[in-house]
Structure 1
């Protein structure tokens, strides 16, 4: 008998203790299969072997009826006794090699993994698939740490592309996070999760069939997003190699043509921008938003985040002031903005300065889809480290970067953008913007911008304003947001009444309000 060909898309893992009281475990399993479950694991930690075998035989009758493989958790004796299609073992259970020896070569064998090293060992030990977890907090386990999509991605990238090992994520997987887990965990090597393993989201649901259908739909959607992003990346890379100079020229021309129209649209529509910002710059960012043509609301209150998400056009998450209430509000505002498909702009102020700021940045990136990340070299360096990009390290002192910056900044922003599937805008003497495929340097601006507090935070507000009226191209919105302030800075510094940073600050706001669409013709941009 040959090994069965397994579809891991929605992998049901049972738990009698969490089964919904309205039905039996057997009913839950059958309902989930009818809803689209493609694989079932019977996990019963409290039963002795005899009772486990009796239950397993009944479950196997159900799964065989629908030609769905049944795996037994941990207990190889049970798997052999009922001739199950395979087994799953944990790191603290019977070893993978022993399980393979006892099961034979034609049974499915999976093992739980939580690190790249464990994944590599699973390959050597003969596993057919690995369960990667724990992804999020769950009722079935109390892990010391959770991986999140970024941790899952690190493990996927540790598996060579030519190795036929299958992968599923497990731990706190629900219908409202499945799509993001699958799309955001996809590795740069093209690996995408082969499935999601779910316990409570199915057996604990009032309608197991409906819950499974939702999970399957979300898995397929996430897989499609990840596949398209990878395919697009490969195609764009090939096109860039074939037509590099032509592409750069065309990109510069296209961006320049878009900019003046965006400013006009911004002032006509006056989008409402939700700011959760630090106290130092709150007034400046509000005034900058108004001067450009937007409308700011400074609302760091979690209670009104959901209501605001329905009326605002974009959200700025600025971690400059870190309190528990601010962080809770950022997570809530970001969650509701994601649900409403409103752009989320992250300004990781001083992300590398303290462990708290690093962990807050990690939490935001792991919990939300961020459309645009805006930061200086030190902040982008910290994010690169958090998400596993191999780049140079730029030290920080407070909110400021130290040193001369990256040796190849364009490559860094491109790598971070590609990995996070978002737009990255890095500010400095020369600014860089990338969406992973398109990358542009901006050489406008004036040194006074770096000598007043809040200039970087104002850039985030400017980007958010343009992103609000450019929902289909956040890359161009980020370029426009930076250029608008850089051009205003140049014009302000050239005024006769500006004598230094103090007088520059007031003139800077004035010149944002004085910007005209044709002034974008003064842009100094270079495409890569």
Structure 2
């Protein structure tokens, strides 16, 4: 008998203890299959073998009715007794090799993996698929650590692209993070996760069918987006010249629509970023409360996350705001202030990148260096002192921002004497600006706010938004520094806000000093 052909897209793992009390386990299984579940694993840790077999027979009747394979968790005896389509084992259960001997070659065999080494061993031992986890915190297990999307991708990278080994992600997978996990699984290795395994998100849901429909839809969107990234066709890429031509109408539109940006920012610059946003033509709301993040996500047009002054409540608000912005398809701009200065800041940066999809990352060389390390890019390391970078910077900054952008499926803007922006395909250097900008507190944070305002009215091209956001404030800096009433950084600060408001849209085309950089 040939081995079953399996679609791993939406993989239900049952748990009687978490099953919604409004229905039986059998009803949960059937409703979830009607909603799109493509594979079912029966997991019953508390039942003895006889009772497990009886339950498995009933569940198998349901899955066979819809031609969906059934796997048995950690009990080869039960799998053989009911002639299930396969089994799943953990690292502490029977070995993959022994399980294969007992099951035979016509059954599906999966194994849990949490490290690259375990993934490589599963491949060598003849597994058909691996369950990669734990991705996020979950009610079903208490993991020592969670992988996050970045960790999932690290494991995928050790599996040869040509390998037939399938992969599913498990652990805290819900409809609001599925798309992000799948998109971020794609990397230079060319693989994308083949499915998501879900427990609580389906069995505990009030309606298992609707929950399954939502999860499958998010998986398919994420898979399609990831495929386009791999193919280099994420979106129709306009030439940089055409992007520049769009800046005057972008600024005019911004001032006409005055998009609302949710700032979770640091206390040091909150007033400055609000004033810069207003001067540009946007509208700021400074709201560092996690309780209202969901409500705000429905009315704001973009979100800025700034970790300059770290408190636990600020971080929780950032996580909630970012997640809800993802659900509402509102752009998230992340300013990892001082990311490499302390362990807390580095860990917070990692947590934010793992908790949501960030559309635009804006940072100095030291901060981008830290992010490059976190996401696994092999680049030079730039030290930091407080929020400032040390040293002369990267030897090839354009290559660094392009590498991080390509890896994170986002736009990366690195500020400095020369600013660099890349979406992984297009990369530019912006040579506008004035040295006074670096001598006042908050100028970089104001740029993040400016980028967010442009991103709000440029939803289909965050690259254009990032370049426009930097350029607008750099031009204002040049104009302010030339004023007769500016004598130094103190007088420059007030003039800077004035000149942001005085910026004429056409100046963003006629005065721009932007160089396109061609990289391999």
Q: TM-score, normalised by structure 1?
A: 0.93
CA gap 1:208/1:312 in 2 versus in 1, 3 angstroms: closer
Checking the alignment, whether the CA contact within 8 Å between 1:316 and 1:344 is kept in structure 2 is yes
CA gap 1:111/1:299 in 2 versus in 1, 3 angstroms: same
Q: Which residue of 2 aligns with 1:205?
A: 205
Q: Which residue of 2 aligns with 1:51?
A: 51
Checking the alignment, whether the CA contact within 8 Å between 1:153 and 1:185 is kept in structure 2 is yes
Indicate yes or no: 2:269 matched with 1:305.
no
Checking the alignment, whether the CA contact within 8 Å between 2:177 and 2:356 is kept in structure 1 is no
Distance in 2 between residues matched to 1:56 and 1:113, nearest whole Å? 25
Q: Which residue of 2 aligns with 1:341?
A: 329
Q: Which residue of 1 aligns with 2:516?
A: 527
Indicate yes or no: 2:403 matched with 1:421.
no
Checking the alignment, whether the CA contact within 8 Å between 2:240 and 2:426 is kept in structure 1 is no
TM-superposed CA distance for 1:337, in Å, is 2.4
Q: Deviations over 1:456-498 (max 9, x none)?
A: 1111111112222222221111111111111122222222332
Secondary structure at 1:140's aligned position in 2?
coil
CA gap 1:67/1:309 in 2 versus in 1, 3 angstroms: closer
Secondary structure at 2:167's aligned position in 1?
strand
Distance in 2 between residues matched to 1:59 and 1:232, nearest whole Å? 43
TM-superposed CA distance for 1:166, in Å, is 0.3
CA gap 1:503/1:22 in 2 versus in 1, 3 angstroms: closer
Checking the alignment, whether the CA contact within 8 Å between 2:323 and 2:356 is kept in structure 1 is yes
2:276 pairs with one of 288, 297, 309: 288
Q: Which residue of 2 aligns with 1:374?
A: 362
User: Number of matched residues?
Assistant: 516
Distance in 2 between residues matched to 1:217 and 1:518, nearest whole Å? 43
1:489 pairs with one of 477, 494, 512: 477
TM-superposed CA distance for 1:516, in Å, is 1.3
TM-superposed CA distance for 1:340, in Å, is 2.6
TM-superposed CA distance for 1:372, in Å, is 1.1
Q: Which residue of 2 aligns with 1:214?
A: 214
CA gap 1:86/1:466 in 2 versus in 1, 3 angstroms: same
Q: Which residue of 1 aligns with 2:70?
A: 70
TM-superposed CA distance for 1:179, in Å, is 2.0
TM-superposed CA distance for 1:88, in Å, is 0.8
Q: Which residue of 1 aligns with 2:2?
A: 2
Q: Which residue of 2 aligns with 1:244?
A: none
Checking the alignment, whether the CA contact within 8 Å between 2:182 and 2:223 is kept in structure 1 is yes
CA gap 1:413/1:82 in 2 versus in 1, 3 angstroms: same
Q: Which residue of 1 aligns with 2:108?
A: 108
Checking the alignment, whether the CA contact within 8 Å between 2:331 and 2:452 is kept in structure 1 is yes
Q: Which residue of 2 aligns with 1:242?
A: none
Distance in 1 between residues matched to 2:387 and 2:190, nearest whole Å? 35
Q: Deviations over 1:31-58 (max 9, x none)?
A: 3223322222121112222322232233
Indicate yes or no: 2:255 matched with 1:277.
no
Checking the alignment, whether the CA contact within 8 Å between 2:76 and 2:87 is kept in structure 1 is yes
Q: Deviations over 1:218-251 (max 9, x none)?
A: 2222212212222235999xxxxxxxxxx9xx83
Checking the alignment, whether the CA contact within 8 Å between 2:418 and 2:430 is kept in structure 1 is yes
Q: Which residue of 2 aligns with 1:240?
A: none
2:443 pairs with one of 455, 471, 493: 455
CA gap 1:10/1:307 in 2 versus in 1, 3 angstroms: closer
1:473 pairs with one of 439, 461, 465: 461
CA gap 1:260/1:207 in 2 versus in 1, 3 angstroms: closer
Distance in 2 between residues matched to 1:282 and 1:209, nearest whole Å? 45
Instruction: Return 5+ residue gaps in structure 2 as ranges.
Output: none
Q: TM-score, normalised by structure 2?
A: 0.95
CA gap 1:312/1:46 in 2 versus in 1, 3 angstroms: closer
Checking the alignment, whether the CA contact within 8 Å between 2:454 and 2:469 is kept in structure 1 is yes
Distance in 2 between residues matched to 1:271 and 1:214, nearest whole Å? 29
Distance in 1 between residues matched to 2:204 and 2:329, nearest whole Å? 29
TM-superposed CA distance for 1:29, in Å, is 2.1
Q: Which residue of 2 aligns with 1:80?
A: 80
Secondary structure at 2:484's aligned position in 1?
coil
CA gap 1:92/1:297 in 2 versus in 1, 3 angstroms: same
Secondary structure at 1:424's aligned position in 2?
strand
Question: What are the equivalent positions in structure 2 for 1:223-238 lying under 5 Å apart?
Answer: 223-233=223-233
* Segment of structure 1 superposing worse, 434-443 or 284-293: 284-293
Checking the alignment, whether the CA contact within 8 Å between 2:383 and 2:389 is kept in structure 1 is yes
What CA RMSD, in Å, does the superposition of the two structures yield over aligned residues?
1.9
Distance in 1 between residues matched to 2:372 and 2:360, nearest whole Å? 14
Q: Which residue of 2 aligns with 1:166?
A: 166
Distance in 2 between residues matched to 1:162 and 1:77, nearest whole Å? 33
Q: Which residue of 1 aligns with 2:117?
A: 117
TM-superposed CA distance for 1:518, in Å, is 2.5
TM-superposed CA distance for 1:527, in Å, is 0.9
Q: Deviations over 1:343-376 (max 9, x none)?
A: 2211110011111111211222112222211100
Secondary structure at 2:506's aligned position in 1?
helix
Distance in 2 between residues matched to 1:308 and 1:178, nearest whole Å? 22
Q: Deviations over 1:151-196 (max 9, x none)?
A: 2111112211011100111112222322222222223322111111
Distance in 2 between residues matched to 1:78 and 1:113, nearest whole Å? 23
TM-superposed CA distance for 1:267, in Å, is 2.1
CA gap 1:128/1:519 in 2 versus in 1, 3 angstroms: same
Checking the alignment, whether the CA contact within 8 Å between 1:172 and 1:198 is kept in structure 2 is yes
TM-superposed CA distance for 1:425, in Å, is 0.7
Distance in 1 between residues matched to 2:255 and 2:226, nearest whole Å? 36
CA gap 1:472/1:65 in 2 versus in 1, 3 angstroms: closer
